[in-house]
Structure 1
Amino acid sequence: MLYRRTDSGAQQDGHEGPAGRVAPAGPPAGAAVVVGSFAMDGGQWFERHRHEHHQLAWAGRGVLAVRAVGSTWVLPPSMALWIPAGTRHATGAAGPALFRSLYFLPGRCPVGWSAPTVVGVSPLLRELICYLADDTLTAAARERAEAVVLDQLRPVSVATVQAPMPRDPRARRVAEALRADPADGRTLAEWGARVGASGRTLARAFVADTGMPYGQWRTRVRLQAAMPLLAGGATVAAVAARVGYASPSAFVAAFRRAVGVPPGVYFAP
């Protein structure tokens, strides 16, 4: 399926939105790459779906989240995610965002990545996406721009920030409270007094249900909460304090360990 550009929301542009599938519109004549544009509200998600075409998911404004193959990617405007054709995925936004996707005809696309792949969005690629959103381009102009887009698709080495929810009901109550207030610094023993379990029991539940110790899980929740704030232009110092770090340097170190690059690189324009 291919999608025509529009800024009036998912229900009019052929994407599978919360209300289900909408009939897709046709691509411009001769197009091998089509841009779909969707204004998203905070907390809005497009339910799990798949495309017959490769997709490059990108937010020109705000922060995009993509869930696929058991992972969640949190993507500022400097990053996009290549989603191979046929891959089931869901897309959402933590805050207001402009979600712009490129859809590639597999038969005319030389990119052979078989798994979701993070791509850096250079200033040139950003401009090309906006350029290709113009349905009035001539076939020759579109073909030239599409060739440059393909040349600009370069993987970057960043890790996903995952924090799966525990199944144990007591640990889940702790997890939900920390998602609501990631700066909460209570120990597991203190949480246990609140939810009716010992700190040791909660620690075992987090490892068993999430695959990581509680401290590591809490770090990832804090980093997830920090992403939209950093993308919105907040300073590292302000974000560090907001999500529970005693100093900006401690936050930057945690971010780099989890993601692979410091915030300044991840959110570089």
Structure 2
Amino acid sequence: MSMFAPRSVELVQALQDVNMETLRSPAVGIRVDVSDIQSEVPVHRHQQGQLVLALKGAAICEVADALWMVPPHCAVWVPGMMPHSIRATANARLAYLFVQPGAAALPARCCTLGITALVRELVLEMARLPADYPGDGPEQRKATVLLEELTRMPVTTLHLAVSQEPRVRRIARRLAEHPADRRTLGEWAAWVAMSERSLARLVQAETGLSFGRWRQQIHLIEALRLLASGHRVQQVAGALGYDSVTAFISMFKKSLGKPPARYIAEMGLDAAQPYR
């Protein structure tokens, strides 16, 4: 493989592509192409922190207390030694960036970071470089710039809080995989063999949110992904099960402060942006 060719691997092979034990470079990128079936990396951990970007499709990082879904203008940051698993939709395209401990002042907790076009391109550039690039050349300088930029990226709240409680986690995974599922609270309660009132109290206690607000987080993240992929607002509203476009726009604006079209335009998301 040419040293300038992207290391493009399957999701389950990504961690095998780089020897995590002997890795010394401050930041190493990998491009991940998922096959035509949904794929999952089981729970694992490594000393390096990991940044996960979704270039196409969707990805979900699951940690002990939350599902972190990767919107198109963001990346999920998983600190080193934190147990996590990663799931991706069929035909998704992801990029990983592994960051050595102490290489950058990044958060000590799992979070979603807003990502600029510059950071995105630098991550893809790191994926074109060998993992053992020289420590005194242009590759090192690119890594330094990338890590400095990452420390400036804003932390967002686009995640779904869950817990170790099995019924809450079961509903969370179902909603993350099927955001258009419009079952009522009572119907979800029956699905996990609880009363409606008990489920409402449980979700509030475990996540700090009402069931409606909890589910709304999924709709926001899925809406951003679809809008950035070129779907019209009407299509997104239908895909998420809203009865009207107006209801969807109202939810979006109330949550993010702007209507969908304006939000996407100001974020600079381009559905036609090439994947390299």
TM norm. shorter chain > 0.5: yes
Paired with 2:18 and 2:95, the residues of 1 have a C-alpha distance of 16
1:74 and 2:69 are equivalent in the alignment: yes
CA offset at residue 40 of structure 1? Answer: 2.0
Q: Mark the runs of 5 or more structure 1 residues left unpaired by the alignment.
A: 16-21
Task: Determine the structure 2 residue equivalent to 1:63.
Answer: 58
Alignment deviations for residues 125-176 of structure 1 (CA, whole Å, 9 cap, x no partner): 122122222236665111111121012113324223427598669xx79x96
Task: Determine the structure 2 residue equivalent to 1:159.
Answer: 157
Q: Is the 8 A contact 2:59 2:88 kept in 1?
A: yes
1:46 and 2:47 are equivalent in the alignment: no
Paired with 2:148 and 2:241, the residues of 1 have a C-alpha distance of 41
Task: Determine the structure 2 residue equivalent to 1:35.
Answer: 29
Q: Which amino acid aligns with 1:49?
A: H
Q: Is the 8 A contact 2:11 2:32 kept in 1?
A: yes
Cα gap change, 1:202 to 1:102, in 2 (>3 Å): same
Q: Aligned runs of 1:1-269 on 2, under 5 Å?
A: 6-13=7-14, 15=15, 22=16, 24-25=18-19, 31-41=25-35, 43-107=38-102, 109-135=103-129, 139-153=136-150, 154-162=152-160, 164=162, 180=178, 182=180, 184=182, 191=187, 201-209=195-203, 211=205, 212-223=209-220, 225-226=222-223, 228-255=225-252, 257=254, 263=260, 265=263, 268-269=268-269
Paired with 1:126 and 1:254, the residues of 2 have a C-alpha distance of 29
Paired with 1:155 and 1:241, the residues of 2 have a C-alpha distance of 32
Paired with 2:167 and 2:25, the residues of 1 have a C-alpha distance of 50
Q: Which amino acid aligns with 2:121?
A: E
Q: Is the 8 A contact 1:71 1:162 kept in 2?
A: yes
Paired with 2:184 and 2:24, the residues of 1 have a C-alpha distance of 60
Q: Which amino acid aligns with 1:78?
A: H
Q: Is the 8 A contact 1:158 1:259 kept in 2?
A: no
Q: Mark the runs of 5 or more structure 2 residues left unpaired by the alignment.
A: 270-276
> Which region of structure 1 is more displaced relative to structure 2, 241-250 or 86-95?
241-250
Cα gap change, 1:257 to 1:87, in 2 (>3 Å): farther
Paired with 2:223 and 2:78, the residues of 1 have a C-alpha distance of 25
TM-score normalized by the length of structure 2: 0.71
CA offset at residue 82 of structure 1? Answer: 2.0
Alignment deviations for residues 180-200 of structure 1 (CA, whole Å, 9 cap, x no partner): 57354x6556x49x87x99xx
Q: Which amino acid aligns with 1:247?
A: S
Q: Percent identity?
A: 24
Paired with 1:220 and 1:9, the residues of 2 have a C-alpha distance of 29
Paired with 1:115 and 1:177, the residues of 2 have a C-alpha distance of 24
> Which region of structure 1 is more displaced relative to structure 2, 130-139 or 95-104?
130-139
TM-score normalized by the length of structure 1: 0.72
CA offset at residue 12 of structure 1? Answer: 4.2
Q: Is the 8 A contact 2:179 2:218 kept in 1?
A: no
Q: Which amino acid aligns with 1:160?
A: L
CA offset at residue 179 of structure 1? Answer: 6.6
Paired with 2:176 and 2:31, the residues of 1 have a C-alpha distance of 33
CA offset at residue 83 of structure 1? Answer: 1.7
